[in-house]
Every structure is written in C-alpha cells, then in structure tokens.
C-alpha cells in the first residue's frame, strides 16, 4: 500500500511518533491523572498529526496553511500539558524527557512546512 501525501511529510511522521509516546505514557497513569491532564495531553498531541493531515486534503493553500497553524497551536498546547503532568507527579523526570526531543523536532518541521506552502502559493 502506498503512502498518502500527508504521510510523506516529516512533520506528520514526527507528530505521530509524539502522539504514540504520549499515549504510551498516559495509559499507565492512575484514573484521576489520566482523566484530567492525560486526556488533554493526548488530545493536543493527536491534533498535531490530524490537523497536518487535514490540511493536505484541503482544496486551497490558504486552507492548508490555516489548518497547519492549528497543528502548531496544538503543539504549543503540549508544553503546558507536559509541565502540568510533571508538577502533579504523573510524570517522572525520565518520562518528561522522553517526548521532549520530539516536541523540539516537530516545531521546526511544521514551520518549514508552512514556509513551503507559502512559497508554493506565492505568499511572502
């Protein structure tokens, strides 16, 4: 089976890895942590890849750009969710360190993808 267009994007692939990492961490929390900050964290990280995929399927560069900006917003939401989980003792220092490199990689990939949309559409 061949990949769809969005699956070829490095930003999408990294977002999927980040979501997998978050799910793997949250699934082991107690019910209070999982049902509060865990749900919010998982929703935020899942939205990064989903929004990126949605943008590829949009009919215009402007729509794609808008939805990818939403993905970037979801990525930014991930930071305080991880901090809250750490402060509430749901995340150990080791667990906090695991997704951090992926969070750091997704941001520049999304920004580069936005720039490529702008170049392709003629926006400066």
pLDDT in tens, 10-53: 999 999 999 999 999 999 999 998 999 999 999 999 999 999 99
What pLDDT score does 95 carry? 83
Per-domain residue ranges for the chain? 5-118
Whole-structure pTM value: 0.86
Categorize the per-residue pLDDT at 123 as very low, low, confident or very high, splitting at 50, 70 and 90: low
What pLDDT score does 124 carry? 54
Both tokens assigned to 14: 């990294």
CA angle 34, 97, 20 (to 5 degrees): 50
Mean of the per-residue pLDDT values of the chain: 88
Both tokens assigned to 65: 């750009």
Mean pLDDT of 41-67: 91
pLDDT at 91 over 90: no
Domain 5-118 sits in CATH at 1.20.1440.60
What pLDDT score does 4 carry? 63
Exposure b/e, 88-107, CB count within 10 A at least 16 = b:
eebbeeebeeebeebbebbb
What pLDDT score does 71 carry? 95
């Amino acid at each position: 089976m061949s990949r769809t267009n969005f699956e070829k994007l490095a930003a999408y692939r990294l977002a999927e890895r980040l979501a997998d990492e978050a799910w793997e961490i949250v699934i082991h929390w107690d019910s209070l942590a999982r049902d509060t900050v865990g749900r919010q964290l998982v929703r935020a990280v899942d939205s990064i890849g989903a929004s990126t995929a949605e943008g590829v399927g949009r009919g215009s560069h402007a729509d794609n750009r808008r939805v990818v900006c939403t993905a970037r917003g979801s990525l930014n939401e991930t930071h305080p969710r991880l901090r809250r989980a750490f402060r509430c003792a749901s995340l150990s220092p080791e667990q906090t360190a695991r997704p951090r490199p992926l969070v750091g990689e997704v941001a520049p990939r999304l920004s580069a993808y936005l720039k490529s949309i702008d170049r392709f559409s003629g926006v400066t």
